[in-house]
Amino acid sequence: MTKIQKSIELFKEAKLHIPGGVNSPVRAFRNIKSNPIFFKKAKGPYLFDADNNKYIDYIGSWGPMIMGHSHPRILKSISKQLQLGTSYGAPTSIESETAKLIKQCVPSIEKVRMVNSGTEATMSAIRLARGYTGKDKIIKFDGCYHGHVDSLLIKAGSGVSTFGLPDSPGIPNELAKKTLSCEFNNKDDFLKIFEKVKNDLAAVIVEPIAGNMGFIPGDHSFLKLLRKKTTENKSLLIFDEVMTGFRVSLGGAQELYKIRPDLTTLGKVIGGGLPVGAFGGKKKIMDFLAPNGPVYQAGTLSGNPLAMAAGSSLIKMLIETDPYKSLEIKAKNLLIGMKRLFEKHDIPFSTNQLGGMFGFFFSEKLPKNLNDVINTNDKYFISFLNKCIDGGIYFAPSKFEAGFISTKHTKTEISNTINKVKYILNKGL
**Which CATH number covers residue 42?**
3.90.1150.10
How far apart are the C-alpha atoms of 263 and 157, rounded to whole Å?
28
Q: Which one has a higher pLDDT value, 47 or 31?
A: 47
The pLDDT of residue 155:
58
Residue 355: domain span: 5-66+323-427
pLDDT band at 152 (very low <50, low <70, confident <90, very high): confident
Q: What CATH number corresponds to the domain at position 181?
A: 3.40.640.10
SS3 394: strand
Give the burial string for 249-280 (b: 16+ CB within 10 Å, else e): bbbbbbbbbebbbbbbbbbbbbbbbbebbbbb
The catalytic residue among 46, 58, 132, 145 is: 145
Do 358 and 409 lie in a common domain? yes
pLDDT band at 167 (very low <50, low <70, confident <90, very high): low
Average pLDDT, rounded, for the chain: 94
Q: Is the pLDDT of residue 257 over 80?
A: yes
DSSP state of 35: P
How far apart are the C-alpha atoms of 405 and 45, rounded to whole Å?
8
pLDDT band at 1 (very low <50, low <70, confident <90, very high): low
pLDDT band at 166 (very low <50, low <70, confident <90, very high): low
Residue 368 appears among annotated catalytic residues: no
The pLDDT of residue 151:
75
Do 55 and 140 lie in a common domain? no
Highest mean pLDDT of the ranges 143-147, 162-166, 174-178, 378-382: 378-382
Q: What is the mean predicted confidence (pLDDT) over 121-141?
A: 97
Do 285 and 314 lie in a common domain? yes
Do 23 and 83 lie in a common domain? no
Q: Is residue 254 within 8 Å of residue 265, measured between CB atoms?
A: no
Residue 268 appears among annotated catalytic residues: yes
Q: Is residue 240 within 8 Å of residue 117, measured between CB atoms?
A: no
Report the percentage of the chain scoring pLDDT > 70: 97
Predicted confidence (pLDDT) per residue in 57-86, tens digit: 999 999 999 999 999 999 999 999 999 999
The pLDDT of residue 421:
98
The catalytic residue among 268, 282, 368, 387 is: 268
220-233 and 187-197 helices, crossing angle to 10°: 10
- Domain end point (choices 321, 339, 359): 321
The catalytic residue among 240, 262, 330, 368 is: 240
How far apart are the C-alpha atoms of 354 and 253, rounded to whole Å?
9
Q: What is the mean predicted confidence (pLDDT) over 385-409?
A: 96
The pLDDT of residue 153:
75
Do 308 and 382 lie in a common domain? no
DSSP state of 239: E
- Domain end point (choices 289, 321, 353): 321
Q: What percentage of the chain's residues is helix, strand, coil (to nearest 5)? A: 45, 20, 40
Alpha-carbon 51 to chain mean position: 29
Do 413 and 390 lie in a common domain? yes
Do 314 and 366 lie in a common domain? no
Q: Is the pLDDT of residue 163 over 70?
A: no
The pLDDT of residue 158:
29
Do 59 and 110 lie in a common domain? no
Q: Is the pLDDT of residue 100 over 50?
A: yes
Residue 147's Cβ-side half-sphere holds a number of Cα atoms within 13 Å equal to 24
pLDDT band at 149 (very low <50, low <70, confident <90, very high): confident
Sheet holding 393-394, edge to edge: 39-43, 46-49, 54-57, 393-394
Question: Looking at 74-182, which runs of residues are DSSP E strands?
Answer: 111-115, 137-141, 154-157, 160-166, 179-182
Do 376 and 273 lie in a common domain? no
Q: Is the pLDDT of residue 136 over 60?
A: yes
pLDDT band at 210 (very low <50, low <70, confident <90, very high): very high
CA-closest candidate to residue 252, choices 271, 238, 266: 266
Name the CA dihedral angle for 26, 410, 75, 46, rounded to a multiple of 10 degrees.
40
Q: What is the mean predicted confidence (pLDDT) over 235-249?
A: 97
How far apart are the C-alpha atoms of 110 and 193, rounded to whole Å?
31
The pLDDT of residue 177:
81
- Please count the structural domains in the chain: 2
Do 248 and 103 lie in a common domain? yes
The pLDDT of residue 331:
97
- Domain end point (choices 288, 321, 354): 321
The pLDDT of residue 31:
87
Residues 6 or more apart whose CB falls under 8 angstroms from that of 423 comprise: 391
Residue 240 appears among annotated catalytic residues: yes
Q: What is the mean predicted confidence (pLDDT) over 399-419?
A: 97
The pLDDT of residue 171:
77
Do 254 and 271 lie in a common domain? yes
Residues 6 or more apart whose CB falls under 8 angstroms from that of 398 comprise: 26, 31, 32
- 204 has which bridge partners? 139, 237
Please, what sign has the CA dihedral across residues 115, 117, 121, 126? negative
Do 269 and 292 lie in a common domain? yes
Q: What is the mean predicted confidence (pLDDT) over 91-115?
A: 97
